[in-house]
C-alpha cells in the first residue's frame, strides 16, 4: 500500500504542478481532495477563523491558490449578466484585482449558479470556463488580472446548467463539455495561447454530465478519468487526447460527482433528485483496460458530493450527510454513520482528518480511518455549497456571500466573523 506522501507526489508529478502545497484546481492536487498541510484545526473553532471578507456576488465555485494569491469567480446578482474573476491575498483577504465579464443568462437548476465552475491555475496564469446561451468559453488571466486570451469552444445546453471545471494535466488545459443536445466534446488547449491542441468528440445524452475529471498516475504517465451518462467511465491521455480505455456500465442517471481513485480502483456514481442511484467500481488492468471490481448496491451512494480515498479506504459522503467507509479493494463496508448535515460540497482530507461542509453552514471534522471517529463541528452563519481549498497552512471556505480563512497567520483585512452581518 502506497503512503499518502508517495501518492500525492505521483499525482503532482503527473499534473506538472510545482508543489503539493498549492491548491490549483477543484479538489486540489489531481482533483484528489487530499492535502498534507499542517496546522489546520480539527475541529474548527471561532478563534481559528483568521479573516472573513465579503464577495461581490454569488457562486458555488471553489477558491484556488498559488502562493499568496486566491482566485475565484462570482456572479453579480444585482447587475444581472455580469460575472467576476477575482484575485485576493491569501494572507489577509484583501482584493487585489477584479475582472468583469458580461454574459447572457440561460436556464439552469434553481440551486445552481452561473459561477459554479472552479478555475484552475499555475505559476503564470489562472484559467476560467464560462457557459452561457452562446456556448462554452475559456479565458486566461495572469496573476495580476490581465486578460491574456479568450476562446469559444462550442455550444452547450443542459437544463440544470453546468458545473464541470477545467483541469491542468500533461501540460494541457483540459475542458470537458457533456451536454444534453448538440455536439459534446473534450478539448485540450495550449495554456499559454489558448490554441486548440486536440479535440475528442463525445456523444450527448438527455441527462448530461456535470462532473470534473480525476487524474490518475499509471505506468509512469497520466490518465484523466471522466464519468458521463453517455459513455460511462473514460480514460484519456491529457497530453494527446488519445482515448486509453472506456467502460460503459449503462448509467441512466446524471454524473455530477467526480470519479474517485484509489490505486487501481476507480469508483463513480450517478443519481438524480436527492441521491445516488447507480455506481460502478472498476479495477484498471495491466493491459490498459478496466473491469468491474465489485458492486456497491444502492445504500449510501453519493450524487453531488465527490468522496475521497486514503490508505486504501473510500469515504463516500451521500447527499443526506451520511458517510460510508469502504475498503477500496473489495468494497467491504467498514462503517456508515452521519458525518454532517445535507451537503453539496465535497469533503477534503488534511493529513488524516476529513472535513465535510453542509448546505446549512456546518463544517465537521472526523478521522480518516476504518473506525468512525467524529472530532466536532463548527457552524457558519450562512450556508456552504463550495468545496473548501487548503494551501499555505490555511483552509479557505466559501459561504454564500463571504470567503473565510481558517488556520495560519491572519490580520490585515477588516475581519468579518461568521456571526457578524
What's residue 110's pLDDT? 67
What does the pLDDT read at residue 179?
A: 65
Mean pLDDT by 10 residues, the chain (421 residues): 41 40 90 93 96 92 95 86 93 95 72 79 94 83 97 74 81 84 88 97 81 87 92 95 95 93 96 92 90 95 96 98 98 98 96 97 98 98 96 94 87 40 30
Do the Cβ atoms of 207 and 164 come closer than 8 Å? no
pLDDT confidence of residue 311 = 97
3-state SS assignment for residue 324 = strand
Q: Supply the pTM of this predicted model.
A: 0.90
The DSSP annotation for 261-323 comes to EETTEEEEEEEETTEEEEEEEEEE-TTS-EEEEE---STT--SSS--EEETTEEEEE-TTSEE
Residues 345, 346, 348, 354, CA torsion sign: positive
Query: What is the DSSP secondary-structure string of 38-57?
Result: S---SS--GGGEEEEEE-SS
In the chain, what are the domains?
A: 4-406 (2.130.10.10)
Grid cell for residue 375: 472530532
pLDDT confidence of residue 193? 97
> What's 29's DSSP letter?
G
Amino acid at each position: 500500500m502506497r503512503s499518502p506522501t508517495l501518492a500525492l507526489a505521483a499525482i503532482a508529478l503527473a499534473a506538472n504542478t510545482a508543489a503539493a502545497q498549492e491548491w490549483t484546481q477543484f479538489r486540489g492536487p489531481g482533483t484528489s481532495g487530499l492535502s498534507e498541510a499542517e496546522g489546520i484545526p480539527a475541529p474548527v473553532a471561532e478563534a481559528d477563523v483568521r479573516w472573513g471578507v465579503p464577495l461581490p456576488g454569488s457562486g458555488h465555485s471553489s477558491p484556488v491558490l498559488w502562493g499568496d494569491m486566491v482566485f475565484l469567480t462570482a456572479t453579480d446578482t444585482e447587475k444581472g449578466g455580469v460575472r467576476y474573476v477575482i484575485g485576493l491575498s491569501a494572507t489577509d483577504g484583501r482584493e487585489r484585482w477584479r475582472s468583469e465579464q458580461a454574459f447572457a443568462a440561460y436556464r439552469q437548476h434553481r440551486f445552481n449558479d452561473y459561477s459554479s465552475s472552479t478555475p484552475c491555475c499555475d505559476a503564470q496564469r489562472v484559467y476560467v470556463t464560462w457557459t452561457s446561451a452562446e456556448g462554452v468559453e475559456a479565458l486566461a488571466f495572469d496573476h495580476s488580472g490581465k486578460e491574456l486570451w479568450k476562446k469559444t469552444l462550442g455550444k452547450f445546453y443542459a437544463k440544470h446548467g453546468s458545473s464541470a471545471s477545467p483541469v491542468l494535466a500533461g501540460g494541457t488545459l483540459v475542458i470537458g463539455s457533456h451536454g444534453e443536445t448538440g455536439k459534446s466534446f473534450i478539448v485540450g488547449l495550449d495554456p499559454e495561447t489558448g490554441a486548440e491542441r486536440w479535440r475528442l468528440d463525445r456523444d450527448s445524452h438527455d441527462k448530461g454530465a456535470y462532473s470534473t475529471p480525476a487524474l490518475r498516475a499509471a505506468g509512469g504517465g497520466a490518465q484523466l478519468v471522466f464519468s458521463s451518462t453517455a459513455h460511462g467511465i473514460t480514460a484519456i491521455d491529457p497530453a494527446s487526447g488519445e482515448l486509453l480505455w472506456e467502460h460503459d456500465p449503462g448509467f441512466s442517471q446524471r454524473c455530477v460527482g467526480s470519479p474517485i481513485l484509489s490505486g487501481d480502483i476507480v469508483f463513480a456514481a450517478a443519481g438524480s433528485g436527492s441521491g445516488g442511484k447507480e455506481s460502478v467500481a472498476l479495477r484498471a488492468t495491466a493491459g490498459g483496460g478496466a473491469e468491474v471490481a465489485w458492486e456497491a448496491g444502492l445504500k449510501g451512494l453519493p450524487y453531488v458530493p465527490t468522496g475521497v480515498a486514503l490508505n486504501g479506504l473510500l469515504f463516500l459522503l451521500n447527499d443526506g450527510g451520511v458517510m460510508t467507509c469502504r475498503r477500496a479493494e473489495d468494497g467491504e463496508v467498514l462503517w456508515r454513520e452521519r458525518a454532517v448535515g445535507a451537503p453539496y460540497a465535497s469533503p477534503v482530507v488534511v493529513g488524516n482528518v476529513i472535513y465535510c461542509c453542509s448546505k446549512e453552514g456546518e463544517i465537521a471534522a472526523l478521522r480518516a480511518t476504518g473506525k468512525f471517529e467524529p472530532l466536532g463541528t463548527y457552524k457558519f452563519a450562512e450556508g456552504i455549497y463550495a468545496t473548501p481549498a487548503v494551501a499555505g497552512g490555511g483552509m479557505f471556505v466559501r459561504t454564500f456571500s463571504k470567503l473565510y480563512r481558517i488556520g495560519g497567520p491572519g490580520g490585515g483585512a477588516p475581519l468579518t466573523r461568521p456571526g457578524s452581518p
